[in-house]
Amino acid sequence: MDHLAVLVVIVPLMSAPVCVLLDRSRPAWLTSLVAAWFSFGAAVMLLLRVSAEGPLRYSLGGWEAPWGIEFRIDVLGGYVLLIVTAVAALVMVFARHSVEQEIPHDRIARFYAALLLVFAGLAGITVTGDAFNLFVFLEISSLASYAAISMGRDRRALSASFQYLVMGTIGATFILIGIGMLYMMTGTLNMIDLAARLPEVSDSRTVRAGFAFLTVGIGLKLALFPLHLWLPNAYAYAPSTVTAFLAATATKVAVYALLRFVLEIFGVEFSLHAMPLDRILVFLGLLGILSGSLVAVFQRDLKRMLAYSSVAQIGYMVLGIGLASVTGVTAAILHVFNHALMKGALFLALGAVAYRVGAVTLREFAGMGQRLPWTTAAIVLGGLSLIGVPPTAGFVSKWYLVLGTLEQGLWLVAMLVLFGSLLALIYVWKLVEAAYFKPPPANAAAVAEAPLSMLVPVWTLVAANIYFGLYTDVSVGLASRVAHDLVGGGG
């Protein structure tokens, strides 16, 4: 049982070289699928265990922390790990047909290897208890995602990937500088150890600078406004599977890293009270919500539209953290979960459309309601969740976020959050109108509905959007538990 903590990462990680050795598309897909589902199962068991028995610590190499590296899974990590693995498991089901169509045949095995490396890297970030090890996992997932994004068919995938590489590497280097400064002041890299030793030295300029560099570095990875410029193009031009997977997981893991460093390692007292991060996050979150939503309204490429919407959604999460209250942080963590459900569903559905029709601009989307009824219906439901219409998961997120702002009397913020929802209504509805009110393009060939291997994951996520809009024992329960642990009852 204990070993699951390491296997959840090692299995997908080591499946990547296996894929390369197999070098055939079908076996590589199968390997990825099995690895992803194994990790998902492991993540479920781990989360059950840590939520019942408390954090699980696993010393790698048998060296106890802080001398060795340890994995440390607590409810927060387990929760995000569950999101990552669940999305991976579904995306792998979806991937088979989509990848065969979008990726040159002789590179499919390596493509799956890259996908697995992205996945393993993200999973590793959520379980590791060592700050530097987090950096290593971050780089594994980042490098693999640069490659995966660049496999998009449009040449802009290349420039988008390069842009992401530069900004991502700057971010990672900032994180490295930040970790270095913390290490300089404490002599340790272990997160728990850091959290214990930092308060003694927290009143130093070095720690403050380290804090700033870590936050900015994570902000870059998180695509926190105004550091989000890499995201829209990367998501818009990456292959469908990659977009769906990254959109549903990568920024979530960055939010996790932000929570872990800001609230746990530095502590609420330091981060949000001694440093003015709370107000900064609220402010940037709001700007992200408004600018992301506004720009999304004017997009014609649907993947770009949803990518800008992601910028806005990240704003919601960051805003929640910035509220620095139990409710706010609950909302942020909850939205990490719910946003993964909605964006996963939406991007996968768009991938299914792309699989049948080719491109996914508003023009191609005309008449889609008749051409691909099930896929389009999934997009509509996912869109409703994005807007926050009850009874979808998005509604629950909005509820807690608005509750968090109202608790602190931030009326204007609450209204702007809801205004963001209305902007979402506008861009989602542009899509709905195109799908149901415009006739299909005259030259449109008759197409069959997307294959079952695509519809099943899409609708699983759609169903999850509704389920977690009604029954929130798990999603809200865990989120609020984590928030209590992080912020403390008083906040």
Region 218-247 residues binding another protein, contact defined as CB under 8 A: 229-230, 232-233, 236
Query: Which residues ranging from 434 to 473 are in contact with another protein (CB under 8 A)?
Result: 436-437, 469-473
H/E element, 57? strand 56-59
Q: Smaller CB distance to another protein: residue 48 or 415?
A: 415
Closest Cα partner for 272 from 491, 35, 112, 72?
A: 491
Give the DSSP letter of residue 438.
Answer: S
Closest Cα partner for 213 from 247, 175, 239?
A: 175
Dist. CA 258–CA 219, nearest whole Å: 8
Q: Smaller CB distance to another protein: residue 351 or 469?
A: 469
* DSSP calls for 403-464: HHHHHTT-HHHHHHHHHHHHHHHHHHHHHHHHHHHSPPPTTPPP-PPPPHHHHHHHHHHHHH
Asked if 361 interacts with another protein (CB under 8 A), we say yes
Q: How far is the CB of 47 from another protein (least distance, A)?
A: 19
Dist. CA 307–CA 318, nearest whole Å: 17
Q: Smaller CB distance to another protein: residue 170 or 447?
A: 170
Asked if 298 interacts with another protein (CB under 8 A), we say yes
Query: Which residues ranging from 245 to 284 are in contact with another protein (CB under 8 A)?
Result: none
Centre a 10 Å sphere on the Cβ of residue 473 and count the other Cβ atoms it contains.
8
Asked if 373 interacts with another protein (CB under 8 A), we say no
Cα Rg of the chain (Å, integer) = 21
In this structure, what token pair is assigned to residue 303? 């993947």
Asked if 374 interacts with another protein (CB under 8 A), we say no
In this structure, what token pair is assigned to residue 328? 């706010």
Asked if 215 interacts with another protein (CB under 8 A), we say no
Query: Which residues ranging from 409 to 438 are in contact with another protein (CB under 8 A)?
Result: 414-415, 418-419, 421-422, 425, 429, 433, 436-437
Q: Which of 13, 86, 348, 354 binds another protein (CB under 8 A)?
A: 13
Dist. CA 163–CA 146, nearest whole Å: 9
Query: Which residues ranging from 174 to 203 are in contact with another protein (CB under 8 A)?
Result: 176-177, 180-181, 183-189, 193, 197, 201
Q: How far is the CB of 314 from another protein (least distance, A)?
A: 16
In this structure, what token pair is assigned to residue 441? 């393009």
Q: Is-cis flag, bond preceding 440, omega within 30?
A: no
Q: Smaller CB distance to another protein: residue 90 or 117?
A: 117
Q: How far is the CB of 229 from another protein (least distance, A)?
A: 5
Dist. CA 449–CA 455, nearest whole Å: 9
Q: How far is the CB of 139 from another protein (least distance, A)?
A: 5
Dist. CA 19–CA 220, nearest whole Å: 31
# residues near another protein by CB under 8 A: 129
Asked if 159 interacts with another protein (CB under 8 A), we say yes
Q: How far is the CB of 411 from another protein (least distance, A)?
A: 8
Q: Smaller CB distance to another protein: residue 90 or 112?
A: 112
Asked if 205 interacts with another protein (CB under 8 A), we say yes
